[in-house]
A and B are shown apart, each in its own frame.
Chain A
């Protein structure tokens, strides 16, 4: 099934023409050239992103050889997306807490605790993989995915390191007091975060890739995740970091476009164009308004203040190295520039993976 589908996609991808004409404001799609331009801007403004050339045999000829896709590594993910959703389930039930000594003062402080069941969930020991909540009507899918998880996947098939205890050699080297205490990297001790009330944070990291999807003519996001010990995440673990609206529906594990062997989780781009169109429309309107206002006010006066705030829209892209033109009469009201497309796109992706900090652009 998977193979069939992949082949179908490959053929469809091969047959679909390369988009030539810029249409990003009309329907949210971009051309490869615009993808490169937007990528250049992203790399320039946010150097955590960089271009990759990928596997030479998989190179797409409509993109420059050394600019096949964008990547940023080690994107932190502090919490599971599943912990954000507010559900009707028991875990969100409220209960009364009594902090006073109940035997002496019955009327003492009582507090309502919400999410009463949440705590045990958040405190679950590192390494324990919680089941993904089943979605109605998707029992089959969910059980299929659960079968993949380490816990239920047949214990004899997945020996973990405890099975080879004779390899632990604690006498291999002497104890060294100049080594910082090895708390598992990324797991934050409860005492360090008072506000989080003793929740253990399992800080996962993700490598995030953005490729250009020729068929849908939009960027496409790919994720490879690691747990706090640097161990690669399984598909079911990755789904914990995807908002419930999208997990199992639009996110799948597929062969990564620019590698011969790598598998990665990918957000399917079939809805990207329409969502991007809406977002762009909204942003474009405010940008056009601002540009008009600026023109009316006679060019140079408010330039400093306003363009500082909204400059990415108004400027002749600094990503391509052009200087800002004076906001005089000769300048067309052009609205949002396509250079900004990927920055907007990342904000949209951030809503699908709410706990993965893909959007490093919040400083705007």
Chain B
């Protein structure tokens, strides 16, 4: 059986984020490099049909931050899922380079793990880390994201029939019903459980949700930021880690619905479904934290920071030249 491969998040930073950081740095943070809570958001994966070739092209699996990310009372706009994050800005490029990334990363991973085993809630599963250095004079911003995800050992495998269109296992009525329930919730549900009758419930109710009759392969769903036909999105990884840690007895085979339809589709549903399996028995001790990965790679495909050069859009002298 092939391994399940997850499409990693890729960061998308709205220019207003850097504007807000600039203001914050000058007026509030000054020389402080304390870690701050921020938030980002993602929505279902999007794909676009190429008019020239007719093929469907998956867009990136984005996690977006903008000026609103610093807002403590942020509310998710319709159709998006909020993710909490830790933000740390360094004062000099040297400090940025010298930061102990492994320690920072481990600190965040421990926080996620503690939320899983102690408070047993799923709100922290998409927690991310962002470190930055802002060269305010040159309008250059260096940044590095990490989206921690626990590594399953042994790894998850997908049954040989692979990822299929959701319509192959769900009727249109069932998908409508799921859509309706997701939409009617006051706060969006990033992860959910699905009954045979397509009613959904929060993952925290896993033990009781499926009733007294133990299901052989419980159906779970998540809002999937990936649009790749064979790669579910990053959030699934930590959801699986959560289920393995808390419900090892009943989570070794799962049917996963990758939810990719914010709107009732005009032509066809985009959601995918597949049955995944992990070899039980060989599992490690549940209370031991699994290792984690998730530093974002730079455009060259290496583990390294990225840079946003906003001089062409921010530097007054360059703007003046452009406006001849």
A184 interface hit (Cβ, 8 Å): yes
Asked whether, in the complex, the Cβ of B308 is within 8 Å of the Cβ of A232, the reply is: yes
User: Which one, B48, B62, B291, B321, contacts A148 given CB within 8 A?
Assistant: B321
Among listed A187-195, A280-288, A316-324, A327-335, interface-contacting one: A187-195
Asked whether, in the complex, the Cβ of B313 is within 8 Å of the Cβ of A178, the reply is: no
Interface residues of B in 289-324 (CB under 8 A from A): 291, 293-295, 297-314, 318-324
Q: Write the nearest CB–CB distance from B89 to chain A, whole angstroms.
A: 16
Alpha-carbon distance between A181 and B303 when the two chains are bound, in angstroms = 14
A5: which B residues are within 8 A, CB to CB?
Answer: 323
Q: Is the interface of A mostly helix, strand, loop or mixed?
A: loop
Asked whether, in the complex, the Cβ of A148 is within 8 Å of the Cβ of B318, the reply is: yes
Asked whether, in the complex, the Cβ of B152 is within 8 Å of the Cβ of A178, the reply is: yes
B314: which A residues are within 8 A, CB to CB?
Answer: 261, 263
Most chain B Cβ neighbours within 10 Å, of A141, A188, A201, A261? A261
A89 interface hit (Cβ, 8 Å): no
B16 interface hit (Cβ, 8 Å): yes
A158: which B residues are within 8 A, CB to CB?
Answer: 309, 311
Among listed B6-14, B111-119, B161-169, interface-contacting one: B6-14
User: Which one, A78, A127, A194, A236, contacts B299 given CB within 8 A?
Assistant: A127
B155 interface hit (Cβ, 8 Å): yes
Alpha-carbon distance between A186 and B97 when the two chains are bound, in angstroms = 28
Interface residues of A in 284-339 (CB under 8 A from B): none
Q: Write the nearest CB–CB distance from B228 to chain A, whole angstroms.
A: 7
Asked whether, in the complex, the Cβ of B14 is within 8 Å of the Cβ of A207, the reply is: yes
Q: Which residue of B lies closest to A84 (CB)?
A: B52
Asked whether, in the complex, the Cβ of B303 is within 8 Å of the Cβ of A50, the reply is: no
Asked whether, in the complex, the Cβ of B10 is within 8 Å of the Cβ of A144, the reply is: no
Q: Which residue of B lies closest to A260 (CB)?
A: B19
Q: Could you write out 27 A-B pairs with CB less than 8 Å apart?
A: A1-B324, A47-B78, A74-B12, A74-B46, A127-B299, A161-B299, A161-B300, A161-B305, A164-B93, A164-B97, A168-B304, A172-B102, A173-B293, A178-B5, A178-B155, A178-B156, A182-B301, A193-B50, A193-B53, A228-B60, A230-B62, A232-B15, A232-B313, A234-B313, A235-B313, A262-B15, A263-B15
